[in-house]
Amino acid sequence: MRILGLLLLAALAAGQEDPLAAARSRVRALESEMQAVIAKVAPAVGAITNYMALFDEKTGKVAVAPRSLGSGLVVTPEGFMLTNVHVVEGAGYLTVALPGGTYPAKLHADTSQGAVKGDIALIKLGGETRFPFVDWRIGDSKGVEPGTFVLALGNPHGHALDGVPMATLGIVSGKGRAAAETGFLYVDVIQTDAEINPGNSGGPLFDMDGHFLGINGLMNSRQGRSNSGVGFAIPVDQVRLFMKTLLKEGETTGYGFHGLAVDSTPDESGARVTGVQGGSPADEAGLRANDVITKVKGETVRNRTDFVNAMGRLPEKTVVSLTYRRSRNVKTAKFRLASFADWKESVGKAAPQGPLPLAERGFLGAEWSEERTGVRLARVVPGAAADRAKLLGGDLLLRVEKTDVPTAKDLVACLATLPPGTKVKVAFEREGKKREVLVVLSGVAEAAGVEK
């Protein structure tokens, strides 16, 4: 009705004889355009289910259970899908429902390695050799302006688990927004009133030509977790800055760390430096408190928001140039944005190593019982690590590498720091004979028997 009203006003202003009929005709034309766009892109939009890992340390049993829902967009024919980190983090197992079927998926790479975690993730679908996709290289988020019509597709509240995405229509409400209240970094993002509800996270935002504009990821609501007309999408132009690394390396990366804290100057003539972290790239480049930054990579900086948007969207290893004022002198500095993890390690702030989260651990893929004589296998999961190594139910485990494992607690501790794919020597006893095998540890899904 909102669109009909706008078109009716336009028809009246144009002095048409039957403005209502003219408005209805234009609405039908707009409907046809939207239907064509949705039909074009929907086959590449998926509903993601994140299954959390469950592990019984006493018995060794590994299982998965649904934890959360989200959305994603297939962006290459090989099945790489863009989504949000918060949709897939901590997953023991992922599935993606597309119009063509439901497929297993694995996290390939993400942008969570930063002072504040980025919310771009790339997952890889299995089960097919070619998938319908929307090319991530096409689309221009810089060119959209407030008032531009947009479509959000995804899996709101789990209503697209049949593989058919839901669509909502809205406009671009604003550009260059910043928000970090969720614990994820959202800078220089698109604001839209297209409805983004729980389950829409990770899904695509399109223009009316079906071009990919961004990844829907954050909604602003003060009354529960329902849409209030204020949603945010990470622009595709920002996503592209990370895609080469995400696709090629398949590793965790992050937004670049510079080490500066800034505030706006009273006259909005720049961003005043209020602090510089020791050993950071900015510190090594000579930036000091009270310097006033006026440009980042040639972009004018009027205030803190301009600085956050210009610097905050850049990946680690990006070379940046700054123009700044110190007293009455204009100076320049150039430095490479660091990995936040590397900087912490260099200044002695690296986090201590401990057991891996369940979703990141390697498993034997076997169930056991603890006896007076040690830990005895009760069964092995078909196709999982123990089965591939020819271990059998009834085998008595003796050692993992050079560590004795007389109890289940000892066995779990030996494996808790090792990721899937790690090769370990396992000594065991079968029918009174001591033997040794090399075991390649399974991931959660394989150890749970849901992925062969």
**CATH number for the segment(s) 358-448:** 2.30.42.10
Q: Extract the tokens encoding 413.
A: 């501790």
Give me the residues paired with residue 426 across strands.
Answer: 400, 437
- Among positive and negative, which fits the CA dihedral 419, 423, 426, 430? positive
Strand 186-192 versus strand 166-179 pairing type: antiparallel
Per-residue confidence (pLDDT) for residue 329, from 0 to 100? 95
Say how far apart CA 407 and CA 370 lie, in whole Å: 6
Say how far apart CA 319 and CA 136 lie, in whole Å: 24
Longest CA–CA separation in the chain, Å? 98
Distances (CA, A) of 249 to 104, 117, 236, 337: 21, 19, 20, 19
Print pLDDT tens along the chain (452 aa): 455 455 444 555 555 657 667 667 777 788 888 899 999 999 999 999 999 999 999 999 999 999 999 999 999 999 999 999 999 999 999 999 998 899 999 999 999 887 788 999 999 999 877 999 999 999 889 889 999 999 999 999 999 999 999 999 999 999 988 876 567 889 999 999 998 889 999 999 999 999 999 999 987 765 555 556 688 999 999 999 999 999 986 777 899 999 999 999 999 999 999 999 999 999 999 999 999 999 999 999 999 999 999 999 999 999 999 999 999 899 999 999 998 888 877 766 655 678 999 999 999 999 999 999 899 999 999 999 999 999 999 999 999 999 999 999 999 999 999 999 999 999 999 999 999 999 999 999 999 999 76
For the chain, which residues make up each domain, given as ranges? Answer: 260-346, 358-448
Question: If we measure between CA atoms, which residue out of 205, 256, 209, 201 comes closest to residue 235?
Answer: 205
Per-residue confidence (pLDDT) for residue 228, from 0 to 100? 63
Q: Extract the tokens encoding 211.
A: 């071009």
Determine the Cα angle at 332 with ends 331 and 337, to 5°: 145
Question: If we measure between CA atoms, which residue out of 49, 51, 107, 103 comes closest to residue 447?
Answer: 51
Neighbours of 421 (CB within 10 A): 11
Q: Helix or strand or coil: residue 65?
A: strand
Inter-residue contact 236 to 212 (CB < 8 Å): yes
**Each residue's pLDDT tens digit, 342-359:** 887 776 665 567 899 999
Per-residue confidence (pLDDT) for residue 117, from 0 to 100? 86
Which CATH class, in words, describes the domain spanning 260-346? mainly beta
Distances (CA, A) of 37 to 24, 31, 34, 148: 20, 10, 5, 15
Inter-residue contact 270 to 324 (CB < 8 Å): yes
DSSP 319-372: EEEEEEEETTEEEEEEEEPBPHHHHHHHTT-PPPP-PPPGGG--B--EEEEEET
Per-residue confidence (pLDDT) for residue 218, from 0 to 100? 84
Inter-residue contact 314 to 328 (CB < 8 Å): no
Question: If we measure between CA atoms, which residue out of 250, 443, 451, 452 comes closest to residue 361?
Answer: 443
DSSP 84-148: -HHHHTT-SEEEEEETTEEEEEEEEEES--SSSB---EEEEE-S-S------TTS--STT--TT-
Do the first three CATH levels of 260-346 and 358-448 match, i.e. the same topology? yes
Residue count (the chain): 452
Say how far apart CA 425 and CA 202 lie, in whole Å: 41
Say how far apart CA 27 and CA 442 lie, in whole Å: 55
Inter-residue contact 407 to 396 (CB < 8 Å): no
Backbone angles phi, psi at 149, to 5 degrees: -70, 140
Per-residue confidence (pLDDT) for residue 158, from 0 to 100? 93
Say how far apart CA 268 and CA 154 lie, in whole Å: 40
Per-residue confidence (pLDDT) for residue 8, from 0 to 100? 47
Positions marked active-site:
86, 119, 201
Say how far apart CA 11 and CA 26 lie, in whole Å: 10
Give me the residues paired with residue 77 across strands.
Answer: none
Instruction: Report pTM.
Output: 0.88
Strands (E), 203-297: 204-206, 212-219, 231-235, 260-264, 271-276, 292-296
Return the DSSP state at 314: P
Q: Extract the tokens encoding 355.
A: 């057991």
Per-residue confidence (pLDDT) for residue 128, from 0 to 100? 76
